[in-house]
Amino acid sequence: MTSTLTKPEELTTLDLQQYKKKQRVKAFFKGMLFLLPSIVLFTVFLFYPLGRTIYLSFFLTNAAGETTVFVGLDNFIRMFQSPIFMQSMKSTFLFVLYTVPLTIIISLFLAVIANEKLKGIGIFRTIYSSTMGISVAAASVFWLYLFHPSIGFLNILISNLGLDKVGWLTDPTWALIAISITTIWMNLGFTFLILLGGLQSIDSYLYESADIDGAGYFYKLRRITIPMLSPTLFFVVTVTIINAFQTFGQIDILTQGGPQNTTNLIVYSIYREAFVNYQFGSASAQAVLLFIIILIMTVIQFKIGERKVHYQ
């Protein structure tokens, strides 16, 4: 009895193409089935909120968030005409400028120290990474006491040195700097841990070859450590910039955007516009602008920064 089944190698050219097409379709649907849970979650928690935000940015809304009047680009125009929002933009970019380079430089310095094979170095690694285990709220309350104008440790130390006390959170000159110090301290743990992992993944034979050639410590740091660490640095810089633009918790607890809106960063401005003033349309416009800014910064980082990345 002859079998009616045909093996793929026995098919004609046309039948073989149809067979491959069916296999590709079948593989596609299998892949989509595996991706379905992720697609559903992304749709519910990412794509729909993003689309809804863009939609709301073209409308005026009532206190319940329901659209009332279509205004087109008026929300965006009024946003750029607002001195409060422009101050918010300026403060946000200054905050990014203050926090990102210092966070990475300090974390890299600590990671290089912690990567040395010394007795008891594990204790210092634990101390340096300990800020990862502290919530934003707890860390903010801790710094709130440090910055207190009368009983704060920093002002007590300044007074003992014979200097005038500083209004860390009440003086427009110092408020953004104080928030930046708090943010740098909170981000050190994560950045340090990532950089330390990158340092420990560098092949030791590179250092051994350099030692044979008589290379000094700083030469090895400049010619081996930094180039080999560049993929990790690229990741850290990108993530740190995005996190800086999204800062909210410490602002809400320490200054509530004051004094004189000097710490009213974009995310806090969005929160205040939506949930204090109930202007969901203009808040959505600000959120869309923040999305565009972060997207542009990320694209620039990939276009410029990735060229200098050295992959092993």
Question: Which of 15-29, 39-53, 260-274 is predicted least confidently?
Answer: 15-29
CA-closest candidate to residue 262, choices 171, 165, 149: 171
Question: Is the bond into 259 cis (omega within 30 degrees of 0)?
Answer: yes
| Average pLDDT taken over every residue of the chain | 88
Two structure tokens written together for 153: 């440790």
Residues written for the chain: 312
Rg (CA), the chain: 27
CA pair distance 97, 42, nearest whole angstrom: 31
Two structure tokens written together for 85: 């929002």
Q: What is the model's pLDDT at position 3?
A: 47
User: In the CATH hierarchy, which top-level class contains the domain 76-308?
Assistant: mainly alpha
pLDDT tens column, 232-255: 999 999 999 999 999 999 999 999
What percent of the chain has a predicted confidence (pLDDT) above 70?
Answer: 95
Q: For 205, what's the count of Cα atoms within 13 Å in the CB-facing half-sphere?
A: 0
- CB-count burial class (<10 Å; 0-12, 13-18, 19+) for 73: exposed
Per the CB < 8 A criterion, the answer to whether 233 and 289 are in contact is no
CA pair distance 283, 57, nearest whole angstrom: 7
The secondary structure of residue 115, as a DSSP letter, is: T
Tell me the pTM.
0.86
pLDDT tens column, 64-117: 888 888 988 999 999 999 999 999 999 999 999 999 999 999 999 999 999 888
More confident residue, 307 or 272: 272
pLDDT tens column, 116-155: 888 888 888 888 888 888 899 999 999 999 998 888 889 9
SS3 labels along 251-276: HHHHCCCCCCCCCCCHHHHHHHHHHC
The residue ranges of every structural domain in the chain are: 13-70, 76-308
Two structure tokens written together for 41: 């979650």
Distant-in-sequence, close-in-space partners of 108: CB < 8 Å, separation ≥ 6: 195, 233
Confidence of residue 2 (pLDDT cuts 50, 70, 90): very low
